[in-house]
Each structure stands twice: as structure tokens, then as C-alpha cells.
Amino acid sequence: MKEMGNASGFVFQAENEPTIYWPEDTIWCEAVMNVIKQIQPKIIITHSCGAVWGDNVPIVMDALQTVKLCQVAADSIVIATHMDSLDHATVTRENLRKYAEANNIFSEKLLIPEDMEEYTF
């Protein structure tokens, strides 16, 4: 989307630590899929609230796209963030969990943190 500009993501790698991929504000797309296939991250942090812009144009992943990412990144743990925090969001934590479980993506694969919750890997 022209108004949003180019997207960027980050890969964090350090010796004896899991590789982390943070695609940031993006929808599921070929570029994200290619990074996952290339680096095979242990952890992926997504913005999964289904935020929309303008005429309901998606600007971050929704539940369907987050589940697709989980399916493609079968060996990764996905941490879905941004739910219940943006006024232009369309997906809540509860919505995402229900949709994920209905598609056989469970809590050991898809983490959906509560506010201020922390994880250590």
C-alpha cells in the first residue's frame, strides 16, 4: 500500500541463542514466507490483530494469515502480538486462539501473550 511505505522486518541471531524473526507490520506475503524458508527461525513474532487502514485494507496479519504462517513455519514457535491494543484491529486474543485451535494450531505452537507477559527461551 503506497500510503504505508515499504515494510521492514528483523532477524536476530546470536551464538547459542534461538534465531528470531520479527516481520513487524505486514500481512502474510511471499517475502515473509521466503525469509521463513531461508532462515528457519526458532521464534517468529507477528503482529496479528488484523488491523486495517482506509477502506478496510489489511495492514497486519489477521487470524487466517497467522495460522497460515504457523502452518508454513512448522518448526517455529509463533508469538502473536498487538491484539486488544489497537482501535483499528479486527482480531482479539480470544478470536485468534479459537480460530487457531479450530485449525489444529495449539498453545505450544502459537503463543498469545497477555499484557506484560514475558517469555524466556
Distance CA 114, CA 116 (A): 6
Distance CA 6, CA 47 (A): 16
- Confidence band of 4 (pLDDT split at 50, 70, 90): low
Topology annotation, domain 18-111: Metallo-beta-lactamase; Chain A (3.60.15)
Per-residue confidence (pLDDT) for residue 6, from 0 to 100: 72
Report pTM. Answer: 0.93
Greater confidence, 108 or 2? Answer: 108
Query: What is the average pLDDT across 5-34?
Result: 93
